[in-house]
Amino acid sequence: MSRRIALLTDSTAYLPEEAVDRHRIAVVPLSVVVGDEVLADGVEISPKDVAEALRAKQRVTTSRPSPETFAEAYRAAAEAGFEAVVSVHISAELSGTVEAARLAAAEAPLPVEVVDSRLVGMALGHVVLAAAEAIAALGTGASGAAGEAGVAGVAGASGNVAADLAAVVAAASGRAARTSGFFYVDTLEYLRRGGRIGAAQALLGSALSVKPLLHLSGGRIEPLEKVRTASRAIARLEEIAVERAGADEVDITVHHLAAADRAEPLAERLRARVPGLRELTVLEVGAVIGAHVGPGLLAVVVAPR
């Protein structure tokens, strides 16, 4: 009897559509609330939409998926013939998404392993891809129900679904531990409004005279360095990324929001400077992250293989 594992994540991974399709990853959207309108991230609202709403000083907030949304996804995987699910999500320090997934997993009709990546954006995305590659390594690709369900699935090599689940979770957790995210924002105001600023709150008093560099640490957004100008901050962001990448094989993603004119040149400079670079992608963040960082975001995700 085959052992098949489904893979699920949330919309804040911002995986390229091609990767989602190729690995048949199910994606549960978070929501963005603009005024009184609730919109599904990546489905009903775009990065451009949220940037315009923020510039217009509209009220923009975000919310997690409901436990029932996850419950439906887990039931769909079971009905499609899968025997287990690996569910990989945005840091629990930044969103209640992991909590909702775990509530649903406790009642699911099949085993569900919920992984708190402690990351967000393509930092999370690289962790999801590591899980997808681990699933693929367990056997040959499943067809039929797997494709219809829109989730990754393979016949397990071990014949033991618990062992296969553990192997996939270990691959995801290992990639998460090696992955870093560094970012620059034009202003801390949007992070302050959303309550996601953490220890970076201490920078607010000097926000007019510094350009802060932040990073993901322990699943939270924390201050890294203070720089006097935007150009120096971006130059320092580049140096930090190069130092973190080192000489080993690494994937890099440059994220931005309404700042392609900054992101593309930064990506080209990193392409020339990182000797072990495997894949480099430039991606605009979606509406959920955009709502908390605001236009002008520039971020670099460094994910060693």
Q: What is the pLDDT along the chain (305 residues), one digit of tens a residue?
A: 235 899 999 999 999 999 999 999 999 999 999 998 999 998 999 999 999 999 898 989 899 999 999 999 999 999 999 999 999 999 999 999 999 999 999 999 999 999 999 999 999 999 999 999 999 998 744 322 333 334 555 444 456 889 999 999 999 999 999 999 999 988 777 777 655 555 445 444 444 557 889 999 999 988 898 888 889 999 999 999 999 999 999 999 999 999 999 999 999 999 999 999 999 999 999 999 999 888 999 999 999 99
What is the 3-class SS of the chain, one letter each residue?
CCCCEEEEEEHHHCCCHHHHHHHCCEEECCEEEECCEEEEECCCECHHHHHHHHHCCCCEEEECCCHHHHHHHHHHHHHCCCCEEEEEECCCCCCCHHHHHHHHHCCCCCCEEEEECCCCCHHHHHHHHHHHHHHHHCCCECCCHHHHHCCCCECCCCCCHHHHHHHHHHHHHHHHHHCEEEEECCCCHHHHHHCCCHHHHHHHHHCCCCEEEEEEECCEEEEEEEECCHHHHHHHHHHHHHHHHCCCCEEEEEEECCCHHHHHHHHHHHHHHCCCEEEEEEEECCHHHHHHHCCCCEEEEEEEC
Chain segment 81-119, per-residue pLDDT in tens: 999 999 999 999 999 999 999 999 999 999 999 999 999
Phi, psi of 273 (to 5 degrees): -105, -15
Closest CA relative to residue 258, chosen from 54, 7, 77: 54
Structure tokens at 104: 């649903």
Other C-beta atoms lying within 10 Å of the C-beta of residue 115: 21
Domains of the chain, by residue range, sit at 5-30+65-177, 180-304
CA 232 to chain CA mean position, Å: 27
Let me know the angle formed at the C-alpha of 183 by 255 and 250, rounded to the nearest 5 degrees: 65
| Cα separation values, 104 from 68, 115, 153, 184, Å | 7, 13, 20, 35
Structure tokens at 277: 């670079």
To the question of domain 5-30+65-177 being in CATH 3.90.1150.10, the answer is no
Strand order in the sheet with 31-34: 37-40, 31-34, 60-63
Please report the pLDDT score of residue 194 as a whole number: 56
Distance CA 96, CA 233 (A): 31
pTM for the model stands at 0.88
CA 45 to chain CA mean position, Å: 17
Answer whether 5-30+65-177 and 180-304 agree in fold.
no
Please report the pLDDT score of residue 251 as a whole number: 97
Fold of 180-304: Hypothetical Protein Tm841; Chain: A;domain 3 (3.30.1180)
The answer to whether 120 touches 64, Cβ cutoff 8 Å, is no
Structure tokens at 96: 């209640």
Please report the pLDDT score of residue 199 as a whole number: 46
Please report the pLDDT score of residue 186 as a whole number: 83
